[in-house]
Structure 1
Amino acid sequence: MAPKIFVTGGTGYIGGSVLHTIVTTHPEYEVTALLRNVPDAFSSTYPKVRIVKGDYDSTDLLSEEASKADVVVHNGDSDHEPSLNAIIAGILRRPTPGFLLFLSGTGILADWADDTYLGKENPKIWSDIDDLDEERSLPDYALHRNTEKILHATAAEKGDKIKIAIMTPPDIYGKGLGLAKTWSALLPIFAKEVNALGGKVFKYGEGTNTRSWVHINDLMKVYMKVLEAAVAGGSNFGWNQEGVYYASTQEHTHISLAIAMGAILKKHGLINDATPVDVSLDQIDTMAKHPLFPKLGRYMFVANSRTRPHRAEKLFAYKGTEPGFLECLEEELLDAMKRA
């Protein structure tokens, strides 16, 4: 019998890429996708995918579909508790254990709330094997901490009936593979703030704060390995208390990104001066405004989030094979400037 896969967030940057990769890599899987809006080309592109119309608040529908799936791949709003609780409830109704791949992110590890390393390099590099106890003790204000607490509690209490993998990518670059959103978050936001500063790339302090990165295609390799292990009954992969998967392949400082962006934008006549200007923390706090996260500017532009994918390296010799972020920057930045 073909494995049954239920995918949410199938029109998002990551979720759309996940859905595309599953369908094209394993056409034998029976895939169901939750879609709020169905792209015009969806049914012609993925004729075998069963569509259920709904969103993350369609909790009864989420539970019902999760109860029928061997594996649920939940993408999209990583902080949305009702959808996660509904999916868990559905999986727990299954007569046999089910698997959940949940999209979180290394934002949970970012040091934006601590002034110590804002604009400076934090020497802490997180491991998805060695640092899980420390990650699980992070304060409640950490990004995605609310949903990860639900996952940890579920794994501890119901680990015989559900197997969980928390997919924890860093910042992502590369064109998405789906039919709707195909761009990532940071560059469009950075481009918008460059325009707001009158055509100036910028830094805070030393600008040596460092973030890990992964190409979307490399991230899909991790997803497929974990999904295939789930379909195989778990294989020798880590689940529940060991079920955390980072995916970084490289890291870059903010200043290196700002300098590279400045050079590209000046080359194309979009700014006059490529030199990064210094901005204050008060200015940073006016950037990337978000009603649910007033310090998003600190997270995006002055914090550190450094990770190593030790679990994937150990399990299947994972490493990045796509071009590096700075190699792809020109095309992606020019596209982001059009959206700014």
Structure 2
Amino acid sequence: MTTKVFLTGATGFIGGAVFAQLYDAHPDYDFTLFVRNEERGKPISARYPDVKFVYGNLSDSTVLEKAAAEADIVIHTANSADDDSSARAIAKGIAAGHTAEKPGYWIHLSGTGILTWYDFEHDRYGESPIPEQTYNDVKDIDRILNLPDNAPHRNIDKIVQAANSDAVKTLIISPPTIYGTGRGTVNTRSVQVPSLVLASFQFGYAPIVGTGKTEWDNVHIDDLADLFAKFVEASQNPSKRDNPEIFGRNGYFFARQSFHKWSDVATWIAEEASRRGYAPEPVTKSVPQKELTQTRLLSAGTWGANSKGEAERAKKYLGWEPKAAALRDTIGEVVEREAKSLGLTPSDTRA
């Protein structure tokens, strides 16, 4: 029988890249995509005319429940880390449509913003990570599964984890900073690094929070999409789909290629903006976290906190090895794209 995949977020950065990867690898799969309305789905439909759609928003529980019940695999990426109504609907639907003899597989996108809780709680923005802030997704799985309830995304993770049963096999993937240009049809732009570039153009300098010692892990969107494909393929592999270290309560994966200090990223941005003629000189400036948060720029709240998650699980159980270009090598491309989006020219050095 044809494998049925239900995916939310196909018009988004991550969901679009994941769908493109899966379709290229498994064009024989039966794909159903959840998008807001027919108009939003048109670019994808034009590119993939054999794909089916269901329409609605994340509060349309009946639509989500039905689609989840009918699918063999559910991949939830549409605001999945923070929307509780859609998570509850998927949990209800996939349980109703599956049995222990024919379980459903739920691949859920969270994020390592969940690991920033300590810095937020202790107001230690811009500081280096302390040893206990590093989490290995194999050795520290119990710590990860019992993070504080006030940690970002934790409330949604708990909904997913509670859905585990003989009929429902879950897997949570929490990627860190995602960079690179996505392969999706609609949105190919990431968030954290482009937002820092926009802030740099807006302020006339690249902002660094406090002493600039905070660290995040990072992964290229192509490597992340490849990991999603490995999850899907594992759900169809008898030697992997029943492994509780892949699907089940312990199925909690990080996706790390390398790591960066946000102060280094700010410096790279300033250097590239100057080198390309979008700024008279490379300028960085230390600012308090509160000042950035008040700008309401996307991701501004994350530049001053640490997120450290070692991705041993994907390598150990699925043989995943990231291969794409390093973050540093993509900064020039991001600076160029964001400058053009603002209508800047190389001789234009407006703040």
Match of 1:161 in 2: 167
* TM-score (normalizing by structure 2): 0.89
Q: Is the 8 A contact 1:117 1:304 kept in 2?
A: no
Change (3 A) 1:41 1:196: closer
Give 1:289 deviation, angstroms.
5.1
Give 1:235 deviation, angstroms.
5.0
Query: Is residue 2:279 matched to residue 1:255?
Result: no
Could you tell me the percent identity over the aligned residues? Answer: 30
Q: Aligned partner of 1:113: which letter? A: F
Secondary structure of the residue aligned to 2:127 is coil
CA–CA distance in 2 between the matches of 1:137 and 1:322?
32
Q: Aligned partner of 2:22: which letter? A: I
Secondary structure of the residue aligned to 1:113 is helix
CA–CA distance in 2 between the matches of 1:231 and 1:5?
12
**Backbone CA RMSD of aligned residues:** 1.8
Match of 1:56 in 2: 58
CA–CA distance in 2 between the matches of 1:35 and 1:231?
25
Deviations along 1:14-61, one digit per CA (max 9) or x if unpaired, are 011111111111011111111114343322311221111222122101
CA–CA distance in 1 between the matches of 2:69 and 2:193?
38
Q: Aligned partner of 1:50: which letter? A: K
Show the 5 A alignment for 1:1-340. 1-37=1-37, 38-77=40-79, 78-96=81-99, 97-110=103-116, 111-115=118-122, 117-122=124-129, 123=131, 124-155=133-164, 159-197=165-203, 199-233=204-238, 234-236=241-243, 238-288=246-296, 297-299=300-302, 301-339=303-341
Change (3 A) 1:267 1:95: closer
Give 1:203 deviation, angstroms.
1.2
Q: Is the 8 A contact 2:59 2:85 kept in 1?
A: yes
Secondary structure of the residue aligned to 1:232 is coil
Q: Is the 8 A contact 2:194 2:334 kept in 1?
A: no
Deviations along 1:127-164, one digit per CA (max 9) or x if unpaired, are 11122222233222321111111122222xxx111000
Q: Is the 8 A contact 2:177 2:218 kept in 1?
A: yes
Secondary structure of the residue aligned to 2:172 is strand
CA–CA distance in 2 between the matches of 1:318 and 1:169?
14
Give 1:117 deviation, angstroms.
4.4
Deviates more, 1:111-120 or 1:31-40: 111-120
Q: Aligned partner of 2:216: which letter? A: R
Give 1:190 deviation, angstroms.
1.1
Q: Aligned partner of 1:82: which letter? A: S
Q: Is the 8 A contact 1:71 1:231 kept in 2?
A: no
CA–CA distance in 1 between the matches of 2:77 and 2:301?
25
Q: Is the 8 A contact 1:172 1:216 kept in 2?
A: yes
Change (3 A) 1:129 1:21: same
Change (3 A) 1:282 1:60: closer
Q: Aligned partner of 2:7: which letter? A: V
CA–CA distance in 2 between the matches of 1:282 and 1:12?
29
CA–CA distance in 2 between the matches of 1:126 and 1:287?
30
Q: 5+ unaligned residues in a row in structure 2: which ranges?
A: 343-351
Secondary structure of the residue aligned to 1:41 is helix
Give 1:317 deviation, angstroms.
3.0
Give 1:116 deviation, angstroms.
6.3
Secondary structure of the residue aligned to 1:100 is strand
* TM-score (normalizing by structure 1): 0.91
Deviates more, 1:231-240 or 1:58-67: 231-240
Secondary structure of the residue aligned to 2:163 is helix
